[in-house]
Every structure is written in structure tokens, then in C-alpha cells.
């Protein structure tokens, strides 16, 4: 396993990491979580991603119980969580980054995770109704109190992140250091567009989510929705249109000869493709069973096999417009 700096911080994260979204509690209990996290850790993974909203807090509870059972040395791994959506519907507890909510959020997450601190906290979405300065101060305070080590953003606009950084610099506060955007062969906009100049100028890190496009890029949906997949889960009906989109499925099928040429699975190709982007700090993988963890970890061996020529073939499949074409 290779490790990359999280932006310009001194901390290094495994280039492949492990996240609990959708799977923990919904598809995996504590026993399965222990097995999958152990497999990832043994492969060199040191970063495990979570969020208070995942499974209504139960994802953190499962991960906390798994960590306790695994008994790893605390300095050997990194845990992240996120705040915004909240767990309750009252006016100051839902879809907000106000100071009260953030402080209550970290306290609740630490209790569920059974930890004294987490390594990274994110603002899970931007909040147009709370001044960014209030949010920056709250995140700074949480770090000063030793409840988190670093903070970042998720799905924020580049302009919002720059504003947060500038506020922190002006007041000598802890700055956000990382963004968690969606990034995969289908979803490239911010990582290959809005954020590029921003990453270069500020050295911001990125922990990307949904590298397999919710499983679409694994090829398992090419013949319908398997009964044991996330596409069949109650509460995730919103995924079905995406997972059964004929145009997208045709593009996934067109990737199969490239995967065969490289001697890898479609999942490994999709993950390795993400790792080819130099602005990616880590690719967050997910799994519902340990065999998927083992498969995903082998993606690191595929990265160097993806030549510029193969990248061009992939761009043609996804009809990516080249910069030189845009200049014509």
C-alpha cells in the first residue's frame, strides 16, 4: 500500500481507504464490520470514513464496536466523520452547520464511535443559512479541544472553501485541509474542473467518494439489480434510475475489453483510474463482504498499468471533451 499526504498536512493516508456508507448496519453488522475492517487494515489501509447521518448514527455505532473488538493501537489508524444532515428534525438540528449543532454532533459521534477523538471531521455539505465564519470558528474550537485533529469540507463550491480558508487565515484559526467530492468515470466535473486550480494554489487534499458510482462501474448491474446489492435496499430506491440507465450500462460494458487487457476486474480498473489523478489523496472504497475488500485492495497494482493511451480510450467511451477541442 502506498500513502499520500492529506493535502499539505503532515498526515499521510493510504491511497485506498475504507468507508461505511450504505453498508454498516444496513448490510453489515459488527461481526462483518470487524472482518472487513481487519482485511482492509491488513492490506495497509489506515483511513476509515464514516458520518453521523449514515444509518441514522448506527453506522458509527457499528464501527465503534468493531474498533473496540479489533483493539488496534490508536496511532495506527485514522477515523473521520461528518456533520450537516443531523439526526433529528428540529430547526437547529437538521441541515445546518451552526455552532451548537457541530459541537453536539462531535460529542455524539465520539460516544457512538467509543473514541476520545477522531482524526478528521467534515462539514458534510455547505450551509447557506449559517455564516461561514461561525462554522470555521466552531471547527477550530473542536480541534483546539482535542476532539478532532483536522477538518475539511464535502461537496462545497471552490469559492466557499476559499472563503473558509481566508477567514481562518485572517483570524489565525485551523484551516480546512481537505475536500470530499464525488469522483468517478461518470462524475468528473469538480475534480477535473472547478477544483484543479484550487488544488494547485492551496494544496487542498481530497478523499473521494463513490469511485464505483454506487456499484455501477463494477458491472454487476449490467443484467439487472441483484437482490443482495445496495440497489435493492429499502430507502435507496433513488439509486435505481442511475443503476439501470441504458446509456451508462453500455459505457460500463465498453470498459470490459480494457479490464481484460489489464488482467483486472472492472472494479479494480475504476479504482485505479481514480488513483491516476494526482490531486486524489485517497479513494474511499466500500464493501458488503470481505471478498470485495480483497478485490478492491488489488486495484493499487493496476495503477501503473494504465497508460495514457488507455486513459484516452476511457475518455472516448465517456465522451470526454478534450481541452484542445475546447480551444478550437
CA atoms within 13 A on the CB side of 72: 23
Q: E strands, the chain, where? A: 3-5, 12-14, 16-19, 47-49, 78-83, 118-123, 148-153, 178-179, 205-208, 282-285
Which are the contacts of 68, defined by CB distance < 8 A and separation ≥ 6? Answer: 114
Which are the contacts of 254, defined by CB distance < 8 A and separation ≥ 6? Answer: 317
Grid cell listed for 42: 491488513
**In 3-state terms, what secondary structure has residue 213?**
coil
Give dist(CA 207, CA 183) in Å, integer. 9
Give dist(CA 173, CA 166) in Å, integer. 10
**In 3-state terms, what secondary structure has residue 195?**
helix
Helix, strand, coil percentages in the chain from 3-state DSSP, rounded to 5: 50, 15, 40
Question: To 10 degrees, what angle do helices 308-317 and 246-262 make?
Answer: 160
Catalytic residue among 3, 41, 54, 117: 54
Give dist(CA 131, CA 151) in Å, integer. 17
Which are the contacts of 166, defined by CB distance < 8 A and separation ≥ 6? Answer: none
Catalytic residue list contains 54? yes
Give dist(CA 37, CA 220) in Å, integer. 23
Q: 465503534: which residue's cell?
A: 64
Give dist(CA 29, CA 80) in Å, integer. 19
Which are the contacts of 259, defined by CB distance < 8 A and separation ≥ 6? Answer: 265, 266, 268, 269
Burial class (CB in 10 A: 0-12, 13-18, 19+), 284: buried
What amino acid positions are annotated as catalytic residues?
54
Amino acid at each position: 500500500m502506498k500513502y499520500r499526504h492529506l493535502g499539505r498536512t503532515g498526515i499521510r493516508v493510504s491511497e485506498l481507504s475504507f468507508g461505511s456508507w450504505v453498508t454498516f448496519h444496513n448490510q453489515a453488522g459488527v461481526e462483518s464490520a470487524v472482518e472487513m475492517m481487519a482485511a482492509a487494515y491488513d492490506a495497509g489501509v489506515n483511513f476509515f470514513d464514516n458520518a453521523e447521518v449514515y444509518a441514522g448514527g448506527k453506522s458509527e455505532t457499528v464501527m465503534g464496536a468493531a474498533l473496540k473488538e479489533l483493539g488496534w493501537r490508536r496511532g495506527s489508524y485514522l477515523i473521520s466523520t461528518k456533520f450537516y444532515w443531523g439526526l433529528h428534525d428540529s430547526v437547529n438540528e437538521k441541515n445546518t452547520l451552526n455552532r451548537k449543532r457541530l459541537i453536539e454532533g462531535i460529542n455524539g459521534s465520539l460516544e457512538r464511535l467509543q473514541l476520545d477523538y477522531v482524526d478528521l471531521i467534515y462539514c458534510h455539505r455547505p450551509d447557506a443559512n449559517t455564516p461561514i465564519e461561525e462554522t470555521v470558528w466552531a471547527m477550530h474550537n473542536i480541534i483546539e479541544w482535542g476532539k478532532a485533529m483536522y477538518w475539511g469540507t464535502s461537496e462545497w463550491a471552490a469559492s466557499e472553501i476559499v472563503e473558509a480558508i481566508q477567514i481562518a487565515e485572517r483570524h489565525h484559526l485551523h484551516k480546512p485541509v481537505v475536500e470530499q467530492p464525488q469522483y468517478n468515470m461518470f462524475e468528473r466535473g469538480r475534480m477535473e474542473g472547478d477544483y484543479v486550480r484550487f488544488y494547485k494554489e492551496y494544496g487542498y487534499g481530497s478523499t473521494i467518494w463513490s469511485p464505483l458510482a454506487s456499484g455501477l462501474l463494477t458491472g454487476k448491474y449490467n443484467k439487472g439489480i441483484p437482490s443482495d446489492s445496495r440497489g435493492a435496499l429499502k430507502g435507496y430506491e433513488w439509486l435505481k434510475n442511475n443503476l439501470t440507465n441504458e446509456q451508462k450500462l453500455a459505457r460500463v460494458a465498453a470498459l470490459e475489453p480494457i479490464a481484460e487487457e489489464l488482467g483486472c476486474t472492472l472494479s479494480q480498473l475504476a479504482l485505479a483510474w481514480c488513483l491516476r489523478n494526482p490531486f486524489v489523496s485517497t479513494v474511499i472504497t466500500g464493501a458488503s463482504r470481505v471478498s470485495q475488500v480483497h478485490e478492491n485492495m488489488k486495484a493499487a497494482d493496476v495503477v501503473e498499468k494504465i497508460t495514457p493511451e488507455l486513459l484516452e480510450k476511457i475518455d472516448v467511451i465517456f465522451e470526454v471533451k478534450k481541452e484542445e477541442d475546447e480551444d478550437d
